[in-house]
Amino acid sequence: MPYELHYWPTIQGRGEFVRLALEAAGADYVDVARGCEGEGQGVAAMLHFMESPAVQRPPFAPPFLVDGKVIVGQTAAILLYLGPRLGLVGKSEVQRLWTHQLQLTIADAVSEVHDTHHPIASSLYYDDQKPEALRRAKEFREARLPKFLDWFESVLQRNPRGSAHLVGARLSYADLSLFQLVDGLLYAFPKATRRALMKTSRVAALHESVAQHKRVAAYLASERRIAFNEAGIFRRYPELDG
């Protein structure tokens, strides 16, 4: 039975971290909310899990994964669940925890990216919080973005199995997620991100190598990869790039 990924159908958003893992592993999955309502898919099928009182463990928000009777929400928890099943994490508890810790730090960075264009309220338009966004984005570009990338650079540098991967000597979901973070940052803050990547060459190299992974490359070139856009988390508002 294929995995069911439930996420908003027109953006990469947080769902993209799950899509990348499923795609890199060549897993059988359905991107439910992008399917046809006539086939029991579409956004209504997704909202069912969030709104029906019959669901014992309702997700707080998309993305969530449905695997038979198991429903898992929260991006990092989904990857914790999928990692061993897709062969995208090491076998020891310590490796799994470290990979998860990296993922949680990527999630923190993603939340901060979201708040560069929505520092006041997700329910308001960007234009209704633009002065605040300009201030917050400056702080993000100048302090936070370099801090996150520097940390991942030191993680790669200190990996005793080499700096091609964040954990051990093989691709993990954390590598895929760092690729996605960097890819999104390059879209949203091209100037600031290129500047930061000049000082974090291992992170830049990992971004390149994941993009060339056979199945990832095929996915990125397919129509399954939704383009970055200004409804997602990574938005190109040039004024926020300084």
Q: Which residues bind a copy of itself (CB under 8 A)?
A: 53, 55-60, 70, 72-74, 76-77, 80-81, 94, 97-98, 100-101, 104-105, 108, 111, 115, 119-121, 123-124, 129, 132, 135-136, 139, 143, 148, 151, 154-155, 158-160
Nearer to a copy of itself, 49 or 228 (CB): 49
Question: Are the CB atoms for 64 and 4 separated by under 8 Å?
Answer: no
Nearer to a copy of itself, 41 or 74 (CB): 74
CA 175, CA 178: separation in Å to the nearest integer? 5
Nearer to a copy of itself, 2 or 131 (CB): 131
Nearer to a copy of itself, 44 or 121 (CB): 121
CA 45, CA 52: separation in Å to the nearest integer? 11
CB of 222 to a copy of itself, least distance (A): 30
CB of 218 to a copy of itself, least distance (A): 30
Beta carbons within 10 angstroms of residue 130's beta carbon:
15
Angstrom CA distances, 63 to 140, 205, 213, stand at 25, 28, 24
Helix crossing, 190-198 with 201-212: angle to 10°?
110
CA 239, CA 22: separation in Å to the nearest integer? 35
CB of 3 to a copy of itself, least distance (A): 15
* Beta-strand runs (E) in the chain: 3-6, 29-31, 64-67, 70-73
Nearer to a copy of itself, 42 or 159 (CB): 159
CB of 112 to a copy of itself, least distance (A): 9
CB of 175 to a copy of itself, least distance (A): 16
